Amino acid sequence: MSESLTQKHKNLIKILIIGAVAFIVCFLITSKVKSRDPLVSDNGRQEIIADYKSKVPKTDKNPFELVTTGARLINSREYEMAVATLDQAVAKDKAYRDGWLYLGIAELKNGLNDQAILSLEQAKKIDPIYPDTYKYLSLAYEKTGQADLAKECYSKFEKLIK
């Protein structure tokens, strides 16, 4: 009886090992997928973004609607499309703080750190007491290696939220 029990244990161990190997192989294969959408290749995605960017300037939306759309795109992690949309918002109203703020956020998320600083500085000029501007400026300065400016902006952010 102990021999049959030992054989059952061996079979169970074999099944567990096969399952573990299958899991690891599946994990490795799926972790190599680059595209966010498995149905759209990277080239197809770039074509969609280019098509979207070409249509954004033709919109009749007002700056508020463009910023709302841009914010949704940021939340959907579509940073390139958000930048294109928010560029149009600030082109239509250069004194719109939220347009500049969200443009800076989208640029920051898209890795365009120097451009983000310029956009966020513009938002700061329009409304020098808005805390979120300083929070994102702090992140942008940190990403560009400007630690002193990052600390200064974060300190200002903390003062404004109290």
In angstroms, the CA 145 to CA 136 distance is 14
Report CA torsion sign: 33, 36, 38, 39. Answer: negative
Q: What is the mean pLDDT of the chain?
A: 83
Q: What is the pLDDT of residue 98?
A: 96
Residue 2 has pLDDT above 60, yes or no: no
CA end-to-end distance (rounded Å), the chain: 74
Res. 46 pLDDT band, cuts 50 70 90: low
Q: What is the pLDDT of residue 6?
A: 79
Residue with tokens 């451009």: 115
For residue 142, give both structure tokens: 């940190």
Residue 106 has pLDDT above 50, yes or no: yes
Q: What is the pLDDT of residue 58?
A: 58
**CA 35 from centroid of its chain's CA atoms:** 15
Residue 36 has pLDDT above 80, yes or no: no
Residue 33 has pLDDT above 60, yes or no: no
Residue 57 has pLDDT above 80, yes or no: no
